[in-house]
Amino acid sequence: MKDYRIVERLKKLLIFQLIVLYPLLGNAVCVHSSLMTSLSECPYEVEAGMNQTIGCENITVLLEGQSQNGGNPSWLNSDGIVVSNSSSVIVDKGGKYFFSVNFDDGCVSVDSVTVTIDYEIPFIFIEQVLADPCDPFSFVLDASASDVSEDIRFVWFRPDGSIIATSDLVEEDLILGTYYLESYDESNNCSNLDSFEVINLQAQLIGANAEYSILSDGMYQLGIYSDKQIIGIEWNNADLLTCSDCFNPVAILTQSTTFKIEITYSNSCKEELILYVPVEREEAIYIPNIFSPNGDGTNDVFYIQSREDRRVKQFLIFDRWGNTVAYRENVHTNKLSDGWDGKLNGKELKPGVYMYYIVLENAVGDELYYSGDITILR
């Protein structure tokens, strides 16, 4: 007994090959079951419909074939694979599709339709650019590297959802948060949406820090520290310093003094620092606000300095969540071994800001309390 399903499948594949190879693809052709090796005109007309386009608004299309004389319809793709055994089919891929109808007398009529893909989504690229390299808050959002044409429209949205601009550049003052850019191509109705997280560029552009330490009674070591390239330094109160254009002058002071330092960087940007040096004859205590425990032998330990050695009854360091990361009792000022090396249980802590609390005993046994922040740089 013949398996008619296999026979019909082979017929359709043979018919398809003949049709594709035959130069009269647009015409209806007929293959009779009794004469599979010959082609003759089929009297029945079928219509595959109009050519169609898949785009952003319609990601699928419906193909509907018509036959005035009934028959058994099917749709085949360009590989000869049957994609539907009815007069209609929904497709989401481009290419040529063939509408084939097998009639009761063995005649087969075929018509074709082409599905075109126009599904190009506009490309978006956003970057945060400094409008003024010396001002960390003068930045803009630039999307000019995205797909740009007369058919593409841009819409920027603030973090609160309101519209900020309709161009490829946002130049107004921005706040920290997530901004969104929608790009719409009017030529094919395709759109794209991307986001950009505005960050604080101030943290990336922090330049220099100024600090001091006590050398002896009335003498103070001043210093400028920076990971940026400095090409010029100018200290005011030059008459109190051993040099006014160097990184580490020594100051000879008889009273508390505020120093202003103008820094010039290699990119010609300038920064002004303020350094206040307190002079307290009764109890001269110096607690630094920054140190760099990187093992280079300079400023590796956070410790308390004083003109005269004093007992530190309590010395505590906390992280920003309030967890204790260092604790000392009954240690002394001016001793590196009694300070903090920036570690917890032998492991280096991350750079950042920590808090200290210190109870110090003065010359007459009174307790003095100090608290503040200390920054780790590595």
Residue 293 has pLDDT above 80, yes or no: yes
CA 243 to CA 361: how far, in whole Å? 36
* In the chain, % of residues over pLDDT 90: 50
User: For residue 114, which phi and psi values (nearest 5 degrees)?
Assistant: -110, 130
Number of Cβ atoms within 10 Å of the Cβ of 104: 9
pLDDT (average), residues 33-56: 72
pLDDT of residue 144: 83
Q: What is the pLDDT of residues 302-323, one digit of tens each?
A: 999 998 899 999 999 999 999 9
- The DSSP output letter for 122 is P
Distance from the Cα of residue 273 to its chain's centroid? 32
* pLDDT for 29: 41
- For residues 357 and 315, what is the distance between their CA atoms, to the nearest angstrom? 6
Q: For domain 206-279, give the CATH number.
A: 2.60.40.10
Lowest average pLDDT, out of 191-200, 323-332, 368-377, goes to: 191-200
Please say if the pLDDT value at position 32 is more than 50: no
Please tell me which residue, 101 or 254, carries the higher pLDDT value. Answer: 101
Q: What is the CATH number of domain 4-117?
A: 2.60.40.10
What topology does CATH give the domain 284-378?
Answer: Immunoglobulin-like (2.60.40)
Per-residue model confidence as pLDDT tens digits over 202-218: 545 556 889 999 888 78
Domain 127-198 classified CATH 1.10.10? no
φ, ψ for residue 326, nearest 5 deg: -155, 140
Q: Looking at the chain, which residues constitute the CATH 2.60.40.10 domain(s)?
A: 4-117, 206-279
The average pLDDT across 349-373 equals 90
CA distance 126 to 296: 40
Q: What are the CA-CA distances from residue 79 to residues 49, 63, 211, 297, 355 (Å)?
A: 20, 17, 77, 74, 72
Sole residue written with tokens 């990187």: 294
